[in-house]
Amino acid sequence: MEKIIYIEGMACGHCKTAVEKALGALDGVSKVEVSLEEKLAKLILDKNLDDAILKNAVEEAGYEVVEIK
Ligand SMILES: [Cu+2]
């Protein structure tokens, strides 16, 4: 399944990498693609992950989750 996380606070390539690493490290995430321009992360999940887990991973990396779809 796919999810899109809308994220505030990413400003550069370093931020992009930090979010990709944080999300990619989660069990169940098979692919992460972060777009700085669109301020979002597109995820491909191989199992259903709770939105709270995704939100927490982004926030621990230092960024704000606006919405998860
Ligand atoms: Cu940055």
Output the pLDDT for position 55: 98
Distance of alpha carbon 23 from alpha carbon 68, whole angstroms: 13
The pair of structure tokens assigned to 65 is 């989750």
**How much is the CA Rg of the chain, to the nearest whole Å?**
10
pLDDT given for residue 4 in this prediction: 98
pTM of the full structure: 0.95
Nearby residues for ligand 1 (ion, Cβ within 5 Å): 11-12, 14-15
Q: pLDDT value at position 12? A: 98
E-only strand ranges, 1-69: 2-8, 29-35, 40-45, 64-68
Cα-to-centroid distance, 37 and ligand 1 (Å): 13
- When the pLDDT of each residue in the chain is averaged and rounded to a whole number, the result is 97
pLDDT of residue 1: 94
- Express each pLDDT in 53-69 by its tens digit: 999 999 999 999 999 99
Residue 56: what pLDDT? 98
Give the Å distance between the CA of 14 and the centre of ligand 1: 4
Distance 34 CA to ligand 1 centre (A): 13
Output the CA 67–ligand 1 centroid distance in Å. Answer: 20
